[in-house]
Amino acid sequence: MWILSIPDAVVKARWGCSGAQCFQSQPWPPVGLGAPAREFGERAVCYNTSHRRLSTQKLRHTANPLLAIQTSLDSGSLSLLDALRRRAKSRSLAIYLVGGLLRDVLLGIASEDLDLVVEGDAPALARELSEELGAGLVVHPQFGTATVTLDGSRLDLVTARKEVYLRPADLPRVSPGTIDDDLARRDFSINALALSLTEPRPAIRDPHGGIDDISRGLVRVLHRRSFADDPTRILRAVRYEQRLGFRIEDETLSLAQEAMDQGYLAAVSGDRLRHELDRILQEERPAPALRRAIELGILAGIHPALVNSEAIDRLEASGQLRNVTDDSGVDDDQADDGRGGEIPPMLFLAALVYTLSPGDGEGIIGRLNLPGAWAEVVRDTITLRVLEPELAAPGLSASRLVSLVQGFSPAALLAVSRVTISSAAGRMLENYLDELQHIAPVLKGGDLLALGVPSGPLVGKILGQLREAKLDGQVDTIDQEKRLVEELLVQLGGQPGRG
């Protein structure tokens, strides 16, 4: 692997970033990525497309990280942490804050994670904490873990453990261990940090050089077998790289490629892969991580059809959504989890599969063992893309448009309206989402019965035709609707019922 400097204007035109240092890891195009236009004779990929950052930066709160954490917490989290710290100090318990919270405090990033490791019985300690504070408690004794909740805040407590992987991509054999054992099992050095709760002003425990990697902006594994042990870490590396504005360290990137070449991703269950994909989709900006995973061939290692990021680019460029749940029909599960007007996660799933064939869509549904709502988005997105020529046809009536697209997943409809290259089809879908799906006649089934329509299938048939007429502007007032009902009753040969 070697470093290539590319002029900013060229980089910006291709990857949308500037001031970038790019690397070349293999001839262009890589296996499985098709044959796009040749650029610079090699594959050039930006380390990071989400943020631009200096290769080194001054870290925050290194003198007293515990104080910085305490002052950043809400009242519920602070109560949980203080109660646990009192226990640790009074009983000399080996309890440590670990992982992402420490990484983020050094970067000056707000974090709500309270993850702690105890050298001992974590569920028993969690029960004591719950009883003292009247807090909620969920225990998983088989895993040695527990979650304590108070006033909307949560604390996760885990028994320190060591892990041994007997086969690549298999789940590990777990046994109790020390804090150093626990840190040694972590995915990356930037997450292998710990802070003792027993000391008055503890320093961060950093046996794997994580603080230096944070300063340098690197995502680095702890050992050469890391990706073979757990190939899902490959997706995680991309997610951290793009979220934090870091870059995957060169040897780590080579090890990820080796693991993919060995087919280790194929040995991972669909549920585990889907979990990691879901975590990418839940990021504040999923597009950079998805794009990077495609560029590196990671998603192609999951399914060979996942090689195109153009629809993801168009979705991201389309901007934020307003009133997603009110205007589009996208429900809470498909929407933004309170992320303001940002693009809902399921729309990025739709963009990811937009260019696929129906067969490849079914292949991905099976490979990732997608739940019903996800599978619906995949199937509907692909079907809508196939329907685009008909949606874009001149003279398409409103009623015909509604008959074509009603019943499709709102997330798929909204995504395709944003990523289609057919402006006419996009306008039609927007019109359906914004207006047409809400249009209905004033008259209901009971009104038709009162007008003499006999009870039975004819009521539904006339209501359907009445809605079509309303959509196409053939009726407007309630009197016009009543006259049309009378006409339809004669045309359809129904015998008037009792009014």
For residue range 211-255, what is the model confidence (pLDDT) as tens digits?
999 999 999 999 999 999 999 999 999 999 999 999 999 999 999
Supply the pLDDT for residue 379: 98
Supply the pLDDT for residue 190: 98
State how far the Cα of 345 lies from the Cα of 373, in Å rounded to an integer. Answer: 12
pLDDT > 70 fraction of the chain, expressed in percent and rounded: 83
pTM of the model: 0.84
Supply the pLDDT for residue 323: 42
Domains and CATH numbers, the chain: 2-46 (no CATH), 65-219 (3.30.460.10), 269-438 (no CATH), 445-491 (no CATH)
Supply the pLDDT for residue 11: 38
Here the tokens at position 199 are 């000391």
- The pLDDT tens digits for 316-344 are 999 866 444 444 445 544 444 434 457 99
The radius of gyration computed from the CA coordinates of the chain, to the nearest angstrom, equals 28
- The pLDDT tens digits for 186-220 are 999 999 999 999 998 999 999 999 999 999 999 99
Q: With bands split at pLDDT 50, 70 and 90, how would you rate the model's confidence at 356? A: very high
For residues 376-385, average pLDDT = 98
Supply the pLDDT for residue 497: 55
What are residue 406's phi and psi, to 5 degrees? -65, 140
Q: With bands split at pLDDT 50, 70 and 90, how would you rate the model's confidence at 142? A: confident
Supply the pLDDT for residue 494: 61
Bridge pairing between strands 153-159 and 115-118: parallel
- The pLDDT tens digits for 82-134 are 999 999 999 999 999 998 999 999 999 988 889 999 999 999 999 999 999 99
- The pLDDT tens digits for 478-494 are 999 999 999 999 888 76
Supply the pLDDT for residue 55: 53
Cβ count near 426 (within 10 Å): 19
Give the position of tokens 């909740």.
149
Ranking 139-148, 328-337, 364-373 by mean pLDDT, the lowest is 328-337
Mean pLDDT across the chain, nearest whole number?
A: 87
Supply the pLDDT for residue 200: 87
List of long-range contacts for 293-300, beta carbons under 8 Å, 24+ apart:
293/235, 293/238, 295/45, 296/45, 296/238, 296/253, 296/256, 296/257, 297/30, 297/31, 297/32, 297/33, 297/260, 298/234, 298/235, 298/238, 298/256, 298/260, 298/265, 299/352, 300/32, 300/33
3-class SS letters over the chain: CEEECCCHHHHHHHHCCCCCCEEECCECCCCCCCCCCCCCCECCEECCCCCCCCCCCCCCCCCCHHHHHHHHCCHHHHHHHHHHHHHHHHHCCCEEEECHHHHHHHHCCCCCCCEEEECCCHHHHHHHHHHHHCCEEEEECCCCEEEEEECCEEEEEEECEEEECCCCCCCCEEEECCHHHHHHCCCEHHHCCEEECCCCCCCCECCCCHHHHHHHCEECECCCCHHHHCCHHHHHHHHHHHHHCCEECHHHHHHHHHHHHCCHHHHCCHHHHHHHHHHHHCCCCHHHHHHHHHHCCHHHHHCCCCCCCHHHHHHHHCCCCCCHHHHCCCCCCCCCCCCCCCCCHHHHHHHHHCCCCHHHHHHHHHHCCCCHHHHHHHHHHHHHHHHHHHHCCCCCCHHHHHHHHCCCCHHHHHHHHHHCCCHHHHHHHHHHHHCHHHCCCCCCHHHHHHCCCCCCHHHHHHHHHHHHHHHCCCCCCHHHHHHHHHHHHHHCCCCCCCC
